[in-house]
């Protein structure tokens, strides 16, 4: 069966596949349009299987909020290149998947892939495969989250970071609340807190953080309180643990605040070993304990959202908890942040170092 240029154009419009591939498929199928579509799909699936092992660490994070039903979702869909991540059809598919998550509440990614895509009669998995026919890159729906209730969202940098923040409030419909919610979401995107507040950290986690802070301090003897550091130096000198060069440097520079610049790495390692050996006594020292507590408070302000300094100091000069309370007071409303989720595109995915010269050579030789 003969086919025309119009047939090639029609097949391309139906599948999104390149003109030459459409022409080859029609030739193989003697102009039968339905068979040509099947051929292109089969070839696409075979190619997708070949590329399934390739790292897909680019992509987008998208969010959706059904304000009427108070259901929010956020999805990360990955691809291989930043170029495809900006593709209009790729982003459109990611947004439809987010709507599907909100509407159908899948249990996991596998369940999501088997569901019918929102606004479509095909499954999410089929939609991803169909887009592969056009884009020709490995694509994966990596993860998603669905949250019920009053939620604020923020997507940064065209989908590089996404945030959902949950609130308990009686001012959900107020414009001032919505602006505040977005600002808090932006804070999370920018400052990457790990917890909502100190109250969300378990005793075991706090103990682990304190232990790490103590060991970190002992591994930097130059930061230890002067009385403790003097005891370490005295022991190193009396037990002849320093080399002649380090001993001479210490005697000459011991009153110099830049003393450690004159010591060898070996001398510093010796002081660290002495500090770790005397760990129990050092930890019991009130000066050291106070320094550790100070560092812990600083660390908690960095990792706990509500304790962080609010980055929009032009709006409020204080911590995030104070900013939320200030907006609530102005509205005469009750507002409480109850949780958040932050996705960063590709986080945790080990990116493979590609040999582009070899890849191009492989393409030229028809081995892809």
Of 79-93, 179-193, 206-220, the one with minimum mean pLDDT is 79-93
Give the residue extent of every domain in the chain.
5-51, 58-199+338-344, 203-303
Enter the CATH code of domain 5-51. 1.10.8.10
232: its two tokens: 């370490």
- pLDDT digit string, tens, across residues 2-59: 777 777 677 666 555 556 666 777 777 777 777 766 665 555 543 433 444 454 678 9
Using CA atoms, how far apart are residues 276 and 16, in angstroms rounded to an integer?
65
CATH superfamily of 58-199+338-344: Elongation factor Ts, dimerisation domain (3.30.479.20)
- pLDDT digit string, tens, across residues 204-237: 999 999 999 999 999 999 999 999 999 999 999 9
User: 10 Å Cβ neighbour count for 294?
Assistant: 11
The residues, ordered by sequence, that sit 6+ positions from 78 with a Cβ below 8 Å of its Cβ are 56, 57, 58, 59, 139, 140, 142, 345, 346, 349
Give burial (CB, 10 Å; 0-12/13-18/19+) of 232.
buried
Give burial (CB, 10 Å; 0-12/13-18/19+) of 271.
buried
The secondary structure element, H or E, covering residue 76 is: strand 71-79
250 φ, ψ (degrees, to nearest 5) = -65, -45
> Quick check: pTM over 0.85?
no
């Amino acid at each position: 069966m003969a086919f025309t240029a119009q047939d090639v154009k029609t097949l391309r419009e139906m599948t999104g596949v390149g003109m030459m591939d459409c022409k080859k498929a029609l030739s193989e199928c003697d102009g039968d349009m339905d068979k040509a579509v099947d051929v292109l799909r089969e070839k696409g699936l075979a190619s997708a299987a070949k590329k399934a092992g390739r790292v897909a660490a680019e992509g987008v994070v998208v969010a959706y909020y059904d304000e009427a039903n108070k259901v929010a979702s956020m999805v990360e869909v990955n691809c291989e290149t930043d170029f495809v991540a900006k593709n209009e059809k790729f982003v459109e598919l990611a947004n439809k998947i987010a709507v599907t998550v909100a509407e159908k509440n899948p249990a996991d990614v596998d369940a999501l892939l088997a569901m019918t895509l929102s606004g479509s009669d095909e499954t999410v998995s089929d939609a991803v495969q169909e887009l592969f026919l056009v884009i020709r890159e490995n694509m994966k729906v990596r993860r998603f989250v669905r949250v019920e209730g009053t939620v604020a969202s923020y997507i940064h940098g065209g989908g590089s970071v996404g945030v959902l923040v949950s609130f308990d409030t009686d001012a959900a419909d107020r414009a001032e609340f919505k602006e505040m919610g977005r600002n808090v979401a932006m804070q999370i995107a920018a400052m990457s807190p790990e917890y909502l507040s100190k109250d969300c950290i378990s005793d075991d986690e706090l103990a682990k953080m304190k232990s790490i802070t103590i060991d970190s301090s002992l591994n930097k003897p130059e930061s230890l309180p002067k009385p403790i550091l003097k005891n370490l130096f005295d022991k190193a000198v009396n037990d002849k643990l320093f080399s002649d060069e380090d001993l001479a440097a210490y005697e000459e520079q011991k009153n110099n605040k830049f003393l450690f610049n004159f010591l060898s790495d070996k001398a510093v390692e010796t002081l660290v070993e002495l500090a770790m050996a005397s760990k129990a006594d050092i930890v019991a020292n009130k000066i050291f304990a106070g320094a550790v507590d100070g560092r812990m408070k600083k660390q908690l302000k960095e990792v706990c959202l509500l304790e962080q300094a609010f980055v929009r100091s032009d709006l409020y000069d204080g911590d995030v908890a104070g900013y939320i309370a200030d907006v609530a007071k102005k509205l005469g409303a009750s507002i409480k942040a109850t949780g958040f989720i932050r996705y960063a595109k590709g986080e945790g995915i080990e990116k493979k170092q590609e040999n582009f010269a070899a890849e191009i050579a492989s393409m030229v030789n028809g081995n892809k």
